[in-house]
């Protein structure tokens, strides 16, 4: 009922209490992909993070070339990869001719 009404916070409370973790993670990832395909990255990020999948949230911003959001999530969830992420992005942008 909450999922159909897009009331994800309420759905999460019920889902996390009564469904096995694997099932509610799968449900949230499916919904996040729908949001991602619609271009609603903010809600897709929220769903991926609630599913405990920060790498998928980081990846949506990488694919959309929204690097500020990508770096924000890497800083928060994958701090050990921050330097390598900056280097990779710099190299990628240089190869694309985006020197700014």
**b/e per residue, 5-25, with b = 16+ CB within 10 A?**
eeebeebbeebeeeeeeeebb
pLDDT mean over 3-17: 76
Give per-residue pLDDT as tens, 21-73: 788 888 889 989 999 999 999 999 999 998 899 999 999 999 999 999 999 99
Instruction: Work out the average pLDDT over 9-28.
Output: 79
């Amino acid at each position: 009922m909450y999922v159909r009404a897009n009331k994800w916070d309420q759905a999460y409370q019920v889902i996390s209490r009564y469904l096995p973790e694997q099932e509610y993670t799968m449900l949230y990832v499916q919904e996040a992909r729908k949001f991602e395909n619609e271009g609603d990255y903010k809600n897709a990020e929220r769903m991926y993070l609630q599913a405990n999948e920060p790498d998928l949230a980081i990846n949506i911003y990488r694919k959309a070339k929204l690097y500020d959001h990508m770096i924000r999530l890497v800083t928060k969830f994958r701090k050990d990869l921050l330097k390598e992420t900056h280097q990779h992005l710099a190299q990628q942008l240089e190869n694309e001719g985006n020197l700014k």
